[in-house]
Amino acid sequence: AEALGYTTVLWTDDPGDYASPGTDVILSRTLDKASPGGIILLHDGIQQTIDVLPQIIQTLRNRGYKFVTVDQMLAERAAARREVASVPAGKTVL
């Protein structure tokens, strides 16, 4: 993929919605594993996912999460790495 100019991006949370476990299960699995910078794998062809997605989005927004594109996330991470890399010698980064 890299040789063709693509960036490989994986997910950090797979709530198993592909198995249609029910909207309550998809919701709880997603919310329990959500983490800053995480990528949640959900399938748009699963009716249960479509039904529960507004609740997932609203709950995560209420918790302070924001939704960004993969390009935006990668740009933010690259900017954060540049900030860390530019710390003057002798300084501690925590």
Confidence of residue 78 (pLDDT cuts 50, 70, 90): confident
Q: Give the predicted TM-score (pTM) of the model.
A: 0.77
Is residue 12 a contact partner of residue 35, using CB atoms and an 8 Å limit? yes
Residue 93 pLDDT > 90, yes or no? no
Question: What is residue 92's predicted lDDT score, i.e. its pLDDT?
Answer: 54
Mean pLDDT of the chain, nearest integer: 89
Residue 94 pLDDT > 90, yes or no? no
- The residue ranges of every structural domain in the chain are 2-67
8-state DSSP, 12: S
In the chain, the largest separation of any two C-alpha atoms, in whole Å, equals: 55
Residues 6+ apart with CB under 8 A from 60: 31, 34, 67
Question: What is residue 18's predicted lDDT score, i.e. its pLDDT?
Answer: 97
